[in-house]
Amino acid sequence: MRVVFRPGAATTATAGEAQRLGLRRLLVVSGTHGADSAQAVADSLGPACAGLHTGARMHVPVEVAARAVEVARAADADGCVAVGGGSAIGLGKAIALRTGLPLIAVPSTYSGSEATPVWGLTEHGAKRTGRDPSVLPRSIVYDPELTLSLPVPLSVTSGVNAIAHAVEALYAPDTSPLIALTAEEGVRAMAGALPQLADDPRNLGARSRALCGAWLCGSCLGATTMGLHHKLCHVLGGTFGLPHAETHTVVLPYALAYNAPAAPEAAAAVARALDAPDAPTALWRLAGDLGAPRSLAELGLKEADLAVAAEQAAGQAYPNPREVTADGVLALLRAAFEGAAPERS
């Protein structure tokens, strides 16, 4: 994977990346909100642009993916450029998964999806994820200027989504010394940048550090297996329609408080990166102090949904440092529903 990282790169580097890959007919995909940036990238491709499709939606519903594949085939595209947040990149990945078309990612949030071979699709109220080398972008074009417009609330929650990748990578069964260093530095970079960009959203230095943090944290997710925290967020997003980054932000302190007794080294690394004595509490403070939602109730989950969500999250098989029991997950979810400071159980 090649990575270009510089201000203005979205419109000055994407065409060159396509050329290096030998691509001549690129479909540009985005969400409706990101259509202006995507149009600018499409224009910068000149005759190598085969079309612009603005149908991306969060959690990539299968019908949305199927429509985008149709559009790519009708345009006779030989590659795809995803411009936007994790939803646009997720749609690009869905096209790559079905057609094998190479993908170039131009991220505008801190989701980290651009650095992973992980795809996600939602069907019949359930989110499925998988890994496939064909969906890993061949090239990432990081342009901090593209993120200047990301509203502060979304910057904060998207930043915590990235931090969550690093946290789970630290205790994943396939972690490594290299990943541990990358994860700790990713948390440090992101946690340092978020207060600065919340204070001044147009601070290009802070935006660059946050985007670099997203790259580090996303690379950790790409290299390791997700645990309870990500699985819980996928249940809450896929089945209950909760917004992705906000859900990660609310759940992460409680998921880490649950896992910390079984993963003390991981919790210590996160605490070091946050320069705080207790990692779950520091994460809860970081996001809350910057105005992020603190409870699942605020995100619209109903108390009656907690038991169903706990059953779904506990009923799947995935590695986690601490045994995942329905009662344990229900207690975690109840704490996240209420939003008080996390306590270790």
Ligand X SMILES: NC(=O)C1=CN([C@@H]2O[C@H](COP(=O)(O)OP(=O)(O)OC[C@H]3O[C@@H](n4cnc5c(N)ncnc54)[C@H](O)[C@@H]3O)[C@@H](O)[C@H]2O)C=CC1
Two structure tokens written together for 92? 């690009």
Q: Which of residues 91-120 bind ligand X (CB under 6 A)?
A: 108-109, 111-113, 116, 118, 120
The DSSP call for residue 119 is E
- What residue 84 binds from ligand X, ligand LZMGALLQ, none (CB within 5 to 8 A, per partner kind)? ligand X
* Residue nearest to ligand X according to CB distances in the complex: 86
- What residue 155 binds from ligand X, ligand LZMGALLQ, none (CB within 5 to 8 A, per partner kind)? none
CA-to-CA separations, 150 to 117, 155, 197, 276, 288, in angstroms, rounded: 25, 6, 10, 28, 18
| Number of residues near ligand LZMGALLQ (by CB under 6 A) | 9
Candidates 25, 53, 209, 230; binder of ligand LZMGALLQ (CB under 6 A) is: 230
Cα-Cα-Cα-Cα dihedral sign, residues 315, 320, 325, 331: negative
- What residue 233 binds from ligand X, ligand LZMGALLQ, none (CB within 5 to 8 A, per partner kind)? ligand LZMGALLQ
Alpha carbons within 13 angstroms on the beta-carbon side of residue 5 total: 16
Two structure tokens written together for 22? 């030998």
Q: What SS3 state is found at 318? A: coil
Q: Does 175 bind ligand X (CB under 6 A)?
A: no
Q: Does 134 bind ligand LZMGALLQ (CB under 6 A)?
A: no
Q: Does 25 bind ligand LZMGALLQ (CB under 6 A)?
A: no
For ligand LZMGALLQ, give the closer residue by CB, 9 or 81.
81
Q: Which residues are CB-contacts of 340 (< 8 A; sequence separation ≥ 6)?
A: none
- What residue 213 binds from ligand LZMGALLQ, ligand X, none (CB within 5 to 8 A, per partner kind)? none
Q: Distance between alpha carbon 237 and the CA centroid of its chain, in Å?
A: 13
- What residue 188 binds from ligand LZMGALLQ, ligand X, none (CB within 5 to 8 A, per partner kind)? none
Between CA 119 and CA 90 the distance in angstroms is 6
Candidates 42, 45, 141, 146; binder of ligand X (CB under 6 A) is: 146
117 phi and psi, to 5 degrees? Answer: -90, 25
Task: Check: CB of residue 165 under 8 Å from CB of residue 218.
Answer: yes
Q: Which helix (H) or strand (E) holds 232?
A: helix 228-238
User: Which stretches of the chain bind ligand X, using CB under 6 A?
Assistant: 31, 33-34, 58-60, 84-88, 90, 108-109, 111-113, 116, 118, 120, 146-147, 149-150, 154, 158, 161, 221, 244-245
User: Which stretches of the chain bind ligand LZMGALLQ, using CB under 6 A?
Assistant: 90, 118-120, 129, 161, 230, 233-234
